Amino acid sequence: MKAVALAALGLLAALAGPLAMAQDKPVHQSPADPQTRYQNADASPLVNEPMYQSTNPKAPPMTQAEFELGRKTYFERCAGCHGVLRKGATGKPLTPDITLGKGTDYLKVFISYGSPAGMPNWLTSGELDEKTVDIMARYIQQEPPLPPEWGMEDMKKSWKVVIPPEQRPTKKMNRYNLANIFSTTLRDAGEIALIDGDTKQIINVIKTGYAVHISRMSASGRYLFVIGRDAKINMIDLWMAQPDTVAEIRVGLEARSVDTSKYKGYEDTYAIAGSYWPPQYTIMKGDTLEPLKIVSTRGMTVDKQEYHPEPRVASIVASHFKPEFVVNVKETGKTLLVDYSNLDALKTTEIGTARFLHDGGLDSTHRYFLVAANQSNKIAAIDLKEGKLVKLIDVGKIPHPGRGANFVHPKYGPVWATGHLGDESIALIGTDPAKHPQYAWKMVDSLKSQGGGSLFIKSHPKSHHLYVDNPLNPDPAISHSVAVYDIDHLDKGFTVLPIAEWTGISDGGAMRVVQPEFNVAGDEVWFSVWSAKDKQSAIVVVDDKTLKLKAVIKDPRLITPTGHFNVNNTQHDIY
């Protein structure tokens, strides 16, 4: 194996770039690394989809059973980095024109030991056995199997109006304080829980798609939209006596993002969803989810001007300044301002930002949108009023803001903050070109957090605190807790809150603490304590003024809670 490992250096250099070698084995990242854990956290929904298989006579032979195991393993562990078509995404391309010339032995070493560019060491970490490594080495020399496309006919077959608009309530039929309802993702159960923020009681548990990614509110605050990673959207009417689904649709085979029109005069008129596969976005009627317009995102990359066949739609927000949706396309590095005022003559402003766009949020005025280009280690600031890129800002390693956090810094004025997956820093970016022009669109400060593996950061206009989670950090002491900063005294560092310990659960497994979310009053912060499907999970509520435990919500229906979204704060983009 030593000789093969030495010979494989040429392959590793070709696939992963220059290597820093200390011994005869490549330096590698373990799957426990926060970045790798994040990108391989979820099996692609495409793992169960029928696909067209093309046979390459030059590829090493495989039985049908071996090919299916290879396909299953690839979509469970590899597609998030290397793409559905293996053309490369955040990871390098793994197409036969590259892999065939290297041979099975070389590829086995690459898969076994990983690379410093982020390829996990699948064999030596124990994640894959030698048999599976051998199968994967042969599998990536085959032509990639092709998933089916998903067009208007497919969408309309999946579209279901459970309760037509004319049969829905004409006024609110319940006594819930709708502004303080939380939509909580029950990830592995394929459900969401609607939780009353006032009483801390579950209102309803609603069956949704696979691994719901986000919840978004209509401009009116009546309709809740949730989208699963299998691209299924549920539209939930909060006016019903018991809020429930009134319409649903699948807009593709894999997806992440949904939002609704918010510009004055277009409230609740349209919904939009972006897909990972096929790479496209779909505009729908805001009251029924009837699909109206499908637009492909396939095209040229912003940097090398090369064609990319699989540019995934990463995130979408609705502009408050124009009748536009802000659509962020990951692999090409483009932010699209889609004018929905006339769908028959759709106008799109294409803004080149940076590749590998992911999550982002609005500044406190809602004029500027800040989005993470995570593998480029940049934040792009976009002026939604003027429709142009303001600045590309260098930050830490792999920024992951969620929607970020807005607050007023005692020195720099209004800032927007992001944590990072790849390092322990928190970047603060000035967002006030009017009153603080010397600090605008610069990283004015970098705070030290508990560590890498951060997914979400949050504050509130009525709070003096900034909360940062680290659910993907490999150290349980860090992933089980959150860091809290006093905004007026950031130089004093952070206070650690032992959120998982406060649940009182003795055998909760991993118990990752994820996604701080404020209530409508801004005086409570909710956290998901995310355990395995067969373990007890919980929601922990913290008093923002005292940083003391206020409540623990336990219920057998709370299976793998992850993201949660307060209706008012989501509706009005408060974070």
Low-confidence ranges of the chain (pLDDT < 50): 1-28
Neighbour tally for 29: CB within 10 Å: 19
**HSE, side-chain direction, 13 A CA sphere, residue 379:** 32
What pLDDT was estimated at residue 40?
56
Q: What is the DSSP string of 193-253?
A: EEEETTT--EEEEEE-STTEEEEEE-TTS-EEEEEETTSEEEEEETTSSS-EEEEEEE-SS
The alpha helices in 147-192, defined as continuous H runs, are: 152-158
Task: Classify the C-alpha dihedral 243-248-254-260 as positive or negative.
Answer: negative
Contact 437, 453 (CB under 8 A): no
Contact 511, 505 (CB under 8 A): yes
What pLDDT was estimated at residue 504?
96
Neighbour tally for 344: CB within 10 Å: 6
Burial 45-61 (b: 16+ CB within 10 A, else e): bbeebeeeeeeeeebee
| H or E segment and range at residue 191 | strand 191-196
What pLDDT was estimated at residue 259?
98
Full-model pTM:
0.90
What pLDDT was estimated at residue 1?
39
What pLDDT was estimated at residue 43?
76
Cα angle 240, 241, 245; round to 5:
40
SS3 of residue 514 by DSSP: strand
Contact 35, 420 (CB under 8 A): no
What pLDDT was estimated at residue 227?
98
Please identify every residue annotated as catalytic: 78, 81-82, 119, 358, 400
